[in-house]
Amino acid sequence: MNPTNQNSLAALKDIHLPPDPGWWPPAPGWWFVTLLLLALISFSFYKWRQRQLRLRPIRLALSELARLDLKTEDPEQRRLVLQELSALIRRFCIVFFPQQPVAGLCGQKWLDFLKKEACDKNLGQSRQFSDQELRPLFEDTYSPTSETDLVTLGQIVEQWFSGQKKRPRVRP
């Protein structure tokens, strides 16, 4: 070989490999997966928030029920507790059932509404309350003396509120 050719070969640089591909921008498949995950997270958050908003009146009603003194023996205080209990259920129904004219119901119609809307929290089915269980809510609130067992009535009302958790809420 010619020495000049050897010198010119030595002057050549080594082969350059292209750089490794970068992580950005991702391939179109990753964009699709990212958008799908964002949509799933957004939908999950929306459903969670809707559930929280639907259960908020129930939680508030149960906490207000827990604050009532159901073990009082004073007749005047018992009557006031019965009135507060009745008002609590009515306020709850006005908020939770906006598509139905709850505010104007009284007497047997009010009792029928409460029985119709009763729901068993464990089964998600209608729980049958008897007239005697719910009648003190609107009869004994105005009587000067009441022999109603407030603790048992409080448990019945708590069951009624808790059963509403399983009920699908219909928006007007």
The count of structural domains within the chain is 1
E strand or H helix at 64: helix 28-67
Q: What angle do CA 122, 115, 138 make, to 5 degrees?
A: 125
Q: Are 115 and 128 in contact (CB under 8 A)?
A: yes
Residue 36 in any domain: the answer is: no
Residue 55 in any domain: the answer is: yes
172 pLDDT exceeds 50? no
Residue 141 in any domain: the answer is: yes
Q: What is the pLDDT of residues 106-135, one digit of tens each?
A: 888 888 888 888 765 444 555 567 777 787
Taking the whole predicted model, whether its pTM rises above 0.85 is answered as no
Q: Are 119 and 126 in contact (CB under 8 A)?
A: yes
**Cα–Cα distance list, 106 to 77, 110, 145, 156 (Å):** 23, 5, 21, 19
Residue 83 in any domain: the answer is: yes
Q: Under 8 Å CB-to-CB from 151, ≥6 apart: which residues? A: 70, 71
Question: Which of 105, 110, 103 is closest to 131 using CA atoms?
Answer: 110
Average pLDDT over residues 21-31: 88
Task: Please give the pLDDT value at position 164.
Answer: 85
What does pLDDT average to over the chain? 83
36 pLDDT exceeds 90? yes
Residue 18 in any domain: the answer is: no
Confidence of residue 168 (pLDDT cuts 50, 70, 90): low
More confident residue, 157 or 121: 157
First CA to last CA distance, the chain? 96
Please state the φ and ψ torsions of residue 130, each to the nearest 5 degrees: -85, 165
Give the CA count within 13 Å in the CB-facing half-sphere of 82: 26
Token couple for 102: 């709850």
Token couple for 17: 């490999």
Residue 78 in any domain: the answer is: yes
Residue 32 in any domain: the answer is: no
Domain extent at residue 135: 44-163
Residue 21 in any domain: the answer is: no
